Amino acid sequence: MFFSFSYTLPLRLAGESIIPAKGETPVIDMGVLGESQTRRDLAHLLHTAVERSGRNRCEIAREADLHKDALRRTLCGERSPSLGEALRILASSGMAPHAHLLLFLGAGGDQATRWLQTDIAQFFEELICELPAALERVLGNQVHDVKPRWAKGTAHRVARLLADHIDELERKDALLGDIYAATLGGRHD
């Protein structure tokens, strides 16, 4: 079986690491790690992906290398897909497969489902694929000095950096639009 846990509920308080300190035992609510809830959440994500794809289920099953009945049972939560099957179902549905499974694991099924077929999901896919190599390239040997407690602050800084970048692009577009309008207005044909 592919998933035997669910992150639909938080496993820790904000700012706390789920990695225990030396000599400390992690306290995790095992109720949120239930198989049936995980299967339901994953089935919902995959079902929504297939429905939003606009493609025939038989085509998706064939492309994902699944029997059509196995796909049907997976989408209604009667069968747990393997990791590869879930990735192939998402990819065959035209979704960013790695991004959505990582969102499913890290933020829960609702977040992964909300981001289906969005530019932010594509961005997240590219970010996740590029991030490990970028961290090693930029940090070098310092990559081993990174502390888990810095993750939340780093995530907020990245989001702020993106917001600033979008604002700057919008200002430039508006300025270029004004310049273009001024040059058209000043033309005498």
Model confidence pLDDT, tens digit, residues 72-82: 999 999 999 99
Per-residue pLDDT band at 91 (split at 50, 70, 90): very high
What does the pLDDT read at residue 186? 59
- What is the distance between the alpha carbons of residues 62 and 65, in angstroms, rounded to a whole number? 5
Of the listed ranges 57-71, 78-92, 125-139, the least confidently predicted one is 125-139
Per-residue pLDDT band at 51 (split at 50, 70, 90): very high
Full-model pTM:
0.64
When the pLDDT of each residue in the chain is averaged and rounded to a whole number, the result is 81
What does the pLDDT read at residue 13? 43
Choose between 21 and 126: higher pLDDT: 126
- CA atoms within 13 A of residue 57's CA, in its CB half-sphere: 14
